[in-house]
Amino acid sequence: QVRLVESGGGLVQAGGSLRLSCAASGLTFSWYGMGWFRQAPGNEREFVAAITRSGRSTSAESVKGRFTISRDTAKNTVYLQMNSLKPEDTAVYYCAARNTIALVTSAQEYDFWGQGTHVTVSS
């Protein structure tokens, strides 16, 4: 049974930082591309960042230069380092997994999802 468990969310002031973690189990982590998405109230789920199993990554324009995705295969964990946070970054953040070598930015292409972690950025 595949499980993705996010952690690290919370309340932070604008300009602050948070690091989200997503621990994966029940899968061969090294085979999987991973992604982070977010969903704010009343909005659709949107792409944040993705990383391939070889470590190649990309991120949305809205977070470039502020957010960094990384992975630790030994720990079966993917991270999202978020710096210079803005109130508009407030959302529930989800990690996702797909068994692929590709860099996947579309939510529809992911097979497994975590339950999400809340991030609130106050102004």
Residue 122: CB atoms within 10 A of its CB come to: 11
Average pLDDT over residues 72-79: 97
Question: What pLDDT does 90 receive?
Answer: 98
Alpha carbon distance 2, 50 (integer Å): 19
Question: What pLDDT does 118 receive?
Answer: 98
User: Given pLDDT bands bounded at 50, 70 and 90, which one contains residue 1?
Assistant: very high
Q: How far apart are the first and last CA of the chain?
A: 40
19 has which bridge partners?
81
Average pLDDT over residues 99-108: 96
What is the three-class DSSP state of 97? strand
Alpha carbon distance 58, 52 (integer Å): 9
